[in-house]
Amino acid sequence: MADAPLGAAPMWVRAASTVIRRLPVGRFRAMNWIGTRRVDPFWMHLPPDLGELAYACDLRDGLMREVYLTGRYEPQETALLRHLLRPGMIFVDVGANWGYFTLVGAHLVGASGYVLSVEADPRACRALRANVEQNALGTVKILNIAASDAAGRLWFQEYERDARDSGNFGVAQSTLIVEEGRRLEIEARALDDVLDEAGVDRVHVLKMDIEGGEAKAIAGLTRRLSSRSIDNISMELHPYHLRDLGTSVGAVIAALRSHGYTAWQIDHSTAAHRASASTHADVATMLTPLAEDADDLGDWPHLLWTREDVPV
C-alpha cells in the first residue's frame, strides 16, 4: 500500500462509533455533533462484510462521517450492490465522490472483476485516487470527467464544503450563479465512448448519482441501453437540478423505459434505512415497482432499473 501521512482514529472517536451504532434513536444527531469536533483526518476501514478496505476519513465530510460512525452510506444501495455484484463482474460508478461505492464494488467483484469510476469534482477525485492507491486496487480505473451526451466542456458550480450542512464534496452543472463555491470547467464525455475505450461491452451494475446530470448521461449511453448491454442501473435523481437544466425526472424515466428497462423505487424511509443496515438485509422488501403514472417522487428519488429479462 502507498504511504500516507495519516494515522489511526483517536480512541474516543472509535468508542463513539461503537456507541452510536447501538443507539436505538438519535444516531444522526450524535453523528453530526461529532462532526463539529476538531479531529484530524485519519485512515479507517470499511466493515468486514464490505472488505475492510481503507479510506481516508475526515469527520467534517458528511458522507465519510456516516460511513465511519454507522458502517454504511446509503445502506439500501449498499445492500443492492451486495445482492447484485459477484466476482468477475463489471461495475461502473458514475459520480463516485471519494469512492465509497467504488471500494464496495471493488471488493464485491474481486480481482477477476473490473470497476470504472467516474467523478467530475477534482477535489473528490483526488480523495478517490488516494483511497484506491492505498488499497492497491489495480482493477479500478478512475476518470476525472463529467458524464454527458457528447464530448465537450461543461461548467459546474463547486459546492462550498464549509457552507453545506453535510460538508461533503460535490459539483453540479447549473445555469445559476451563487456566491459560495467556484465555477469549474470540466471535460465531458459520453459514457458509450468511455466504455468503448475501456473495452467494456457489458456492464452488470451501473450506479449514477450526478446532481442533475442524469438526463445527459443517459443520452450518452444510448447505444448500450438500446442493445441492453447494461443489466442494472442504480440511480439517484435530482429534480431541482434537472429542472434548472431544462429537463425533468419524467424525461429521465421515459428515456429509460423507452429502452425496455423496468423501474423499481428504492424505499428510503427511516425504517428501511435501519433494516438495510443489517448484513442480512432483504432487498425484496425495499423495492416497489414504479407506477406508470408516477408523478411526485420526492426531492431525491432513488430508483433501480433492470432489464426486463434480468431478475432482481
Residue count of the chain, please give it.
312
pLDDT at 177: 52
Q: What is the dihedral of CA 85, 89, 95, 97, to 10 degrees?
A: 80
User: Residue 122 is which amino acid?
Assistant: P
Can you give the pLDDT of all 312 residues of the chain as single tens digits?
444 578 888 888 888 888 887 887 777 788 888 878 888 999 999 999 999 999 999 998 989 999 998 899 999 999 999 999 999 999 999 999 999 999 999 999 999 999 999 999 999 999 999 999 999 999 999 999 999 999 999 988 887 655 344 445 666 666 555 555 678 899 999 999 999 999 999 999 999 999 899 999 999 999 999 999 999 999 999 999 999 999 999 999 999 999 999 999 999 998 898 888 877 889 989 999 999 887 678 888 999 999 988 777
Contacts of 60 (CB under 8 A, 6+ apart): 35, 161, 167
Element (H, E) at 49: none
Long-range contacts of 192-201 (CB under 8 A, 24+ apart): 192/220, 192/221, 192/222, 192/223, 192/224, 193/151, 193/220, 194/116, 194/118, 194/143, 194/145, 194/147, 195/92, 195/116, 195/224, 198/116, 198/141, 200/90, 200/92, 200/114, 200/116, 201/229
C-alpha pair distances (Å), 233 with each of 74, 127, 302: 15, 24, 11
| Cross-strand partners of 146 | 188
d(CA 282, CA 26): 24
CB atoms within 10 A of CB 183: 12
C-alpha cell at 278: 443489517
pLDDT at 19: 86
CB contact at 8 A, 267 and 298:
no
User: Residue 17 is which amino acid?
Assistant: S
pTM above 0.75, yes or no: yes
Q: Which domains are assigned to the chain? A: 73-307 (3.40.50.150)
pLDDT at 166: 46
d(CA 154, CA 174): 10
pLDDT at 91: 99
pLDDT at 1: 41
